[in-house]
Every structure is written in C-alpha cells, then in structure tokens.
Structure 1
Amino acid sequence: MAMTREDNELLTRVENGAPMGEMIRQHYWLPAVPSVKLEADGAPVHVKLLGTSYAAFRATDGSVGIVDEQCPHRKTSMLLGRNENNGLRCIFHGWKVNTSGAVVEAPNHSGDQERFCKNVRVNKYTVREAGGIVWVWLGKGETAPKFPDLPFTSLPVSQRSVTSTEVPTNWVQGVEASMDSSHVGVLHESTTQITAGGGNERMHMNVALAPKLEFEDQPYGYRYAALRDLPDGKIYARVNNFVMPWYGIICAPDAKGPSTVFFSTPVDDVTHRAWFVHFNPHRPLGMTIMSATPDVWNYPPLPPGNKENNWGQNRDLMKRGHATGFPQHLGTEDFAMFIGQGRIADRTTEQLCAADGAVLRVRQQLLRSVREFMEGKVPTFAGNPLLDYSKAVSIGGVLAADEHWQSLVAAN
C-alpha cells in the first residue's frame, strides 16, 4: 500500500520543530564530524544537523566541542573565530566559549566579567568521540540517551575507516537504500565484480536477484535475512541489521572480511550526510576501496553531472558492459538513484513488491517512534531496557538447503 502524503511528511521532515526532528534531537546521538577533521587549535568546522548550524572545534588540550554557530553576543558566525587557549574566540568582540559551550571571556564588558559570563544564556551540547567520529546529543535534560556502541565504535583506528559526504536529498532515501537488499545485484552489479573478485560470496547476488526476506524484531530495530537460492541447491544468506534511526549494518562479503555500516543523517529537509564506516573486527583493515579515500568529509563522490546530462552517466562505458555508467564508487551509484527520486521522494504513488519488506519496516519503525514521541512517550526503540547496540552484528554465508540462517548468527 502506498504511503499517505501526511505520513510521508511526518516521516521525512526534520526542520522547524517537525516532530521527527524533535524526536531525533531528544532521543538519539547524532554523528557530527569525522574525528580527523578537527585539529587542536585548528579551524572550526561547519556542521549542520536537523536544519540548524553549529561550529565544531578541537581545543588546545584535544577535547572537542560543538556550539551554536552564532555567537551569543551579536550573533555573528563562530566559524570565523580564533581557536586558541582551550576555547573558540569570536573575532567581532572577543567573546570566548569553551568546549562545553559556556562563555568564559567577554572582554568588552566593563563590570564583573566572571559573574557576567556565568549568566550568559547558551545552549550546551553533550559531545563524545568514538569510532573515529565526533558525536553530539542535542536534546534537553541532564541524562543523555544510550550511546550507540555499535560494533565499530571501540575498534582501533587500524581496523576502521570513516568517510562521509553531503547528498542533496532527504535523509530517509539513504536509510531505505541501506536495507534494500534486492538493488545490490542490479545497481551494484559491476561494482561488485570490480571490488569483490571472482571468489567472493557477494557475487552470488548477481546470480540470484530476488531474495526471500525473513525478519526478527530486536530492541534496537530489526534483523533480517535476505535468502537467495543458488543453482547448486544451496542458499546464500545475508543477515543484516537495521538500528534505529538510520544505521544499516551490512555483513562482510566473506568470513573474517570487512563489514560496512551505512547511515544517512539529516542535514535539513532536503539534504543528508551519507556516512560510510568500513571496519574489520578481526584484523587491520588495510587498503580498501573505502579506506583509500582522498577526503573523509567529501567522499564517496557525488554523480559528476546534473539532470540535463543524466547526472554525468557514462553511456559509452555502459556499452562496454558497465551496469550503470557510474564507475566512481558504489556510493555514487546510490546517490544517483536518490537524486533521481527527487529532493524528497514521493511515496504516495509507489508500487512495491515482495522485495521491499525491509524498506517498509524502516518506515514503520520510524513512524511508530515519532508517533510515540508525539504522544509524550519515550519511543520504544530508544527506551527499551534491553537495548544493546553491540548485538547488532551482521553476517553472511552459504547454507545447505535444510539449514536455517539463525545458525549463522548463533555461531558468530
């Protein structure tokens, strides 16, 4: 059944007090910036989340702060400020904020400066650094929500890589794609061949395009298996996890190989930041298509064109066998699809099929959560006492016809 226009608005909108944005702000940590983008006493970095702009900076002592972009004094941009002596100083009048967001100096005030600073009203945000990412909680109150301690957040830097880029579409389009198993063997057919090699299990997806989906609800969201019948009577099972509100944890292509977490965080209503975390819990990651990035803040690349030239699609390359004409990266292929859906996808006229069950569950869980929030409740997936993000481990493998996919999970 197609979505109503009202539900599509409720699902996608995050700005100007929209319920979804307020629910996320209060009950979830948001990834803000890759850790390596922030240099001690270096330039602050512009971060936009849920339609609001912030300045992220690393202080002299290595601690990290995220503050409102506008100075609390005369509202000019703190992105122009000097990062010095454990604080960010506005170059307009010299007001200085520390990493907690508190004003600690107001040199143009002639009275008791210390007392004055203590009474300046500021928004203070809780910040945490883990897994190569600086995270922020933007909500109100003294107690932050449970931190998303996902399978990569405690790994050493040698076992993970983090990249992200800004995409000019609504965030839900990216989240849905992370749980859309049936597009992989079609959209990413050539990318899989290029990056996987002939013996990689992912090649099975190019043979069996129509998976059967089976689901298990979890305190953090859901786990599901995409089951593909192989010509030899065996089954290729890919067990992936959706973690509210946007994490798609994708299984490794083969045993002891690297896994990937895709997540799409809302910049505003019509822009999202696509994050790619490639990690290997078993050994150093080494050089991969994900870790060999030229720019952790703008990678993978967006499609190289616009609508007038089919977003830079290379039709000559397609004539030579490439499935999509976007050879840059699998992320580039995805971004082209999101952009082709429009800034905010119209879900009211979709015609869905059996392969879309995981996408529907993403929508259902997001809508359930925002409706619970609107009723004054803590959303079930945010407040479940059994919530344990570390359990969201994804795995794949080839099974005998009489084996159940749950055996892969139990053995992990």
Structure 2
Amino acid sequence: MAMTHEDNELLTRVENGAPMGEMIRQHYWIPAVPSAKLVADGAPVRVRLLGTNYVAFRATDGHVGMLDEQCPHRKASLLMGRNEDNGLRCIFHGWKLNTSGDVIEAPNHMGDQSQFCKHVRVNRYRVEERGGIVWVWLGKGEHPPRFPDLPFTRLPEDQRSVTSQEVPTNWVQGVEASMDSSHVGVLHESTTQITAGAGNERLHMTQALAPRLEFEDMPYGYRYAAVRALPDDKVYARVNNFVMPWYGIICAPDAKGPGTVFFSTPVDDVTHRAWFVHFNPHRPLGMTVMSATPDVWGFPPLPPGGPENNWGQNRDLMKRGHATGFPQHLGTEDFAMFIGQGPIVDRTTEQLCSADGAVLRVRQALLKSVREFTAGKTPTLADNPDLDYAKATSVGGVLPAGSDWRTLTLTP
C-alpha cells in the first residue's frame, strides 16, 4: 500500500518545528563534522543541521565546541571569527565564546564585564568526539540520550576512515538506500566487480538479484538477512543492521574484511549529509578507496552534471560494459539515484515489490518513533533497558541451504 501524503510529510520534514526534526533533536546524538576537518586554532566550519546553522571549531587545547552560527551580540556570523586562545572571537565587536558556549569576553561593554558575560543568553550544546566524528546533542535538559556506541566508535584511528558529502535531497532517501539490498547487484554491479577480488563473497550479489529477506526486531531497530540461492544447494546470506534513526551497518565483503556504516543526516528538508565510515575491527584498515581520500567533507563525489546531461552519466562507458556510467564511486551511483528521485521523493505513487521489505521497515520504525514522540513519550527505539549499540554487528557468509542465518552472527 502506498504511503499517504501526510505520512510522507511526517517522515521527511525536519525544519521549523516539524515533529521528526524535534524528535531527532531531543532523543539522538547527531554526527556533525569529521574530526579531521577541525584543526586547533584553525578556521571554524559551518554545520547545518535540521535547518539551522551552527559553527564548529577546535580550540587551542584541542577541545571542540559547537555554537549557533550567529554571535549573540549583533548576530554577525562566527564563521568569520578568530579562533584563538581557547575561544572563538567575533570580528565585529570582539565578543569571545568558549567551547562550552559561554561568553567570556565582551570588550565593548563598559562596567563589570565578567558579570555582564554571565547574563548573556546563549544556547549550549553538548559535544562528543568519538570514532573520528564530532557528535552534538541539540536537545534540552540535563540528561542527553544514550550515545550510539557503534562498532567503529572505539576503534583506533588506523582501523577506520570517515568521509562525507552533502547531497541535495531529503535525508530519508539516503537512509532507505542503506537498507535496500536488492539494488546492490544492479546499481553497483560494475563497482562491485572492480573492487572485489577473485572469490570475494560480495560477487554473489551480482549473481542473484532477488534475495529472500528475513527480519528480526532489535532494541535499536532491526537486523535482516538477504539470502541468495547459490549452486550446489548453498545460499549466501548477508546480515545487515538498521540502527535508528539513520545508521545502516553493512557487513564486510569477506571474512575479517572491512565493514561499512552508511548514514544520512538531515541538513534541512531538501539536503542531507551522506556519511561513509569504513572500518575493520580485526586489524588496521590499510589503503582503501575510502581511506585514500584526503577530502573528509566532500567525498565520495557528487554526479558531475545535471538533468540536462543525465547528471553527467558516461554513456560511452556504458557501451563498453559499465553498468551505470558513473565510474567515480559507489556513492556517486547512489547520489545520482537520490537526485533523480527529486528533492523529496513522492512515496504516494510507488509500486513496491517483495525486495522492499527492509525499506518499509525503516519507514515503519521512523514513523512509530515520531508518533510516540508527538504523544509525549520517549520513543521505544531511542531508550530502553535492552538497548546495546555494540551488538549491531553485521556479517555475511555461505551456508548450506536451509540453515539458520543467525548462526553467522554467533561466529566470533
């Protein structure tokens, strides 16, 4: 059954007090900026979240702060501020804020400057720096939500890489794709063949395009197995996890290889930031397509064109056998699909099939949570006694036909 217009609005909108945006603001830590983007005493960075602009900076002592972009004095942009002596100084009148959001200097005020600064009204945002990412809680109150301590957040730097890209579409389009297993063998056919070595289990995805999906609810969302039939009475099962509100934890292509976490965070109603965390819990990550890029704020690349030239699609390359004509990166292929759907996809006219079960569950989890929130409740998937983010591990492997895929999750 197609989604109603009202549900599509509830699902996607995050600006101007929209219920989904307010739920995210209060009940979730939001990935804000890659740690590597911020340099001590370096240039501050604009971070736009849920339709509001903020500024992130790393102070002299290494601590990170998130502030409203506009100075509390005369609303000049702190992006132009001087980052010096453990604070960000507005270049308009010299007001200075520290990483906690306190105004610590107001040099144009006559009288007791210290007392004056204590009474300036400011918004203070809690920040955590883990897993190569600066996270922020934008909610109200003294008690932040549980931190999403995902499988990569405690790994040393040489076992993970973090990149991100701003994409001009609504955030849910990206979240849905992270759980859409059946598109991998079609959209990413050539990318998979190029990056996979001989015998890599990931190649099975290009050989069986209609997986059987089996689901299991989890305290953080759900996990599911995409089971594909193979010759010799065997199956290839990929067990991936959806963690509310936007994390797709994707299994490694082969044993002891690097896994990936894809997540799409809402910049505003029609823009999201796509995040790619490549990580290996077993050993140093080494050189990969992801770890090789120095651009943590603009990689993978967006499609190189617009609708007037099919978003830069290389049709000559397609004639030579490339599946999509977007050879830049797996992420570029995904971005092209999102952009082609439009800024906010109209889900009221979709015609879904058996492969879309995981996508439907993403929508159900988000809508259930936002309805709980609007009813004045803490969303069940945001906080309950059994919530353990560390258990959201994703695996894959070949099994005898008829085997229970859950045995894969028990392998040490």
TM-score, L = length of structure 1 = 1.00
What's the counterpart of residue 145 of structure 2?
145
Find the counterpart in structure 1 of residue 155 from structure 2: 155
Letter in 1 for 2:391: K
State the partner residue of 1:256: 256
Find the counterpart in structure 2 of residue 370 from structure 1.
370
Deviations 1:141-169 (A, max 9, x none): 00000000000000000000000000000
DSSP-derived class of the 2:74 partner: coil
Q: Distance in 2 between matches of 1:176 and 1:274?
A: 12
1:85 matched residue in structure 2: 85
1:92 and 1:294 mapped to 2: Cα distance?
Answer: 33
Runs ≥4 residues deviating over 4 A: none
Displacement after TM superposition at 1:121 (Å)? 0.3
- Structure 1 CA distance for aligned equivalents of residues 287 and 251 of structure 2: 19
1:54 aligns with 2:54: yes
Give the superposition deviation at 1:351: 0.2
1:111 positional shift? 1.2
Distance in 2, matches of 1:98 and 1:257, equals: 41
CA-to-aligned-CA distance 1:369-389 (integer Å, 9 cap, x gap)? 000000000000012111110
**CA separation in 1, counterparts of 2:106 and 2:140?**
26
How many residue pairs get aligned? The number is 412
Deviations 1:312-355 (A, max 9, x none): 00000000000000000000000000001000000000000000
Q: Give the equivalent residue in structure 2 for 1:397.
A: 397
| Cα distance in 1, alignment partners of residues 383 and 146 from structure 2 | 8
Task: Point out where structure 1 has 5 or more consecutive residues left out of the alignment.
Answer: none
1:357 aligns with 2:357: yes
Structure 2 counterpart of 1:208: 208
In 1: Cα distance, 2:52 partner to 2:402 partner: 52
Specify the SS of the correspondent of 1:275. strand
Q: Partners of 1:261 and 1:68 in 2: how far apart?
A: 28
Supply the distance in 1 between the matched residues of 2:277 and 2:411 (Cα, whole angstroms): 24
Question: Which structure 2 residues correspond to residues 109-128 of structure 1 after superposition, within 5 A?
Answer: 109-128=109-128
State the 1:411 CA deviation.
1.8
Q: Which residue pairs with 2:165 in the alignment?
A: 165
**Matched residue, 2:342:** 342
Measure the CA separation in 1 of the matches of 2:225 and 2:349.
Answer: 27
TM superposition shift of 1:402: 3.0
Counterpart CA distance in 2 for 1:233 and 1:334 is: 33
Cα RMSD over matched residues?
Answer: 0.5
Q: CA deviation at 1:410?
A: 1.5
**1:229 matches 2:232:** no
Deviation at 1:199, TM superposition (A): 1.1
User: Which whole-Å deviations, capped at 9, do the CAs of 1:194-228 have from their partners, x for residues lacking one?
Assistant: 00122100000110000000000000000100000
**d(CA) in 1 for partners of 2:294, 2:329:** 13
TM-superposed CA distance for 1:128, in Å, is 0.5
**Residue identity opposite 2:257 in structure 1:** G
Instruction: Give the distance between the partners of 2:110 and 2:349, measured in 1 at CA.
Output: 63
CA offsets per residue over residues 39-74 of structure 1, 9 Å max, x none?
Answer: 000000010000000010000000000000000000
2:29 matches 1:5? no
The range that moved more, 288-297 or 108-117, is: 288-297
3-state SS in 2 of match to 1:120: coil
**Match for 2:167: what amino acid?**
V
Distance 2:96 2:387 in 1: 39
- Equivalent-residue separation in structure 1 for 2:174 and 2:131 (angstroms): 21
CA distance in 1, matches of 2:40, 2:235: 51
For 1:161, the aligned partner's letter is S
Counterparts of residues 186-201 of structure 1 (less than 5 Å): 186-201=186-201
- Establish whether residue 18 from structure 1 lines up as the match of residue 40 from structure 2: no
In structure 1, what residue type is equivalent to 2:179?
M
Post-superposition Cα deviations, 1:247-287, rounded to whole Å, max 9, x if no partner, equal 00000000000000000000000000000000000000000
Gaps of 5+ in 2: none
SS in 1 for 2:299: coil
Q: Percent identity?
A: 82
- Partner-residue secondary structure (3-state), 1:381: coil
What SS does the aligned partner of 2:361 have? helix
**Partner letter of residue 398 of structure 1?**
V
C-alpha displacement of 1:294:
3.4
Amino acid at match of 2:267: V
1:317 to 2:330 alignment = no
Match of 1:281 in 2: 281
Q: How much has 1:401 moved relative to structure 2?
A: 1.2
User: In structure 2, how many angstroms separate the alpha carbons of the residues matched to 1:350 and 1:203?
Assistant: 29
Counterparts of 1:245 and 1:394, CA distance in 2: 17
What letter is aligned with 1:154? R
1:290-315 CA deviation, whole Å, 9 max, x = no partner?
11113110000000000000000000
1:98 is aligned to 2:83: no
**Structure 2: which amino acid aligns with 1:325?**
G
Aligned partners of 1:102 and 1:207: how far apart in 2?
Answer: 58
Amino acid at match of 1:235: V
With structure 2 as the length reference, what TM-score do the two structures score? 1.00
In the alignment, the residues of structure 1 paired with residue 102 and residue 371 of structure 2 have an alpha-carbon distance, to the nearest angstrom, of: 34
Q: What is the CA-CA distance between 1:404 and the residue it aligns to? A: 0.9
